[in-house]
Amino acid sequence: MIALDSSSLIAYVSGSKGADVDAVEFALRQKQVVLPPVVLSELLSDPKLSPTAAKAFKELPRLSLLEGYWERVGYLRSEVIRGSRKAPLADALIAQSCMDHEVSLITRDADFRNFGRAGLKLLPV
């Protein structure tokens, strides 16, 4: 399974180009896509999102939250911040979901690199 970040999924849907968009397309074709729950929330929070797109996003499989998730998110974010790196809360939530399930994340958001030392695997590399 491969997790998608909203940045790459939005780029894919909007017809943008890039290695991440190619990776999203490949993962969708292979039926290997999962969404961290926070990504679904981000996608559905767009007031201009069409009902058709919302339905399609909601039909994608999601990662579950495992016991102790909230505590691990806090510690993960603390570790990244302690290293003087940027750690937005939504990114930490997404990163921890991926790490808990040992899945790589497709993203075009460079901030996720800050979670790499803690074990987040990113695609494309």
Tell me the residue range of the domain where 69 lies. Answer: 2-123
Structure tokens at 5: 């970040």
Number of domains in the chain: 1
Residue 125 has pLDDT above 90, yes or no: no
Q: Which residues contact 27 (CB under 8 A, 6 or more apart)?
A: 2, 4, 33, 106
CATH of the domain at 51: 3.40.50.1010
CA dihedral 79, 125, 66, 61 (to 10 degrees): 150
Summarize pLDDT for 31-59 with one digit per residue, the tens: 999 999 999 999 999 999 999 999 999 99
**Using an 8 Å Cβ cutoff, are 2 and 99 in contact?**
no
Tell me the whole-structure pTM to 2 decimals. Answer: 0.94
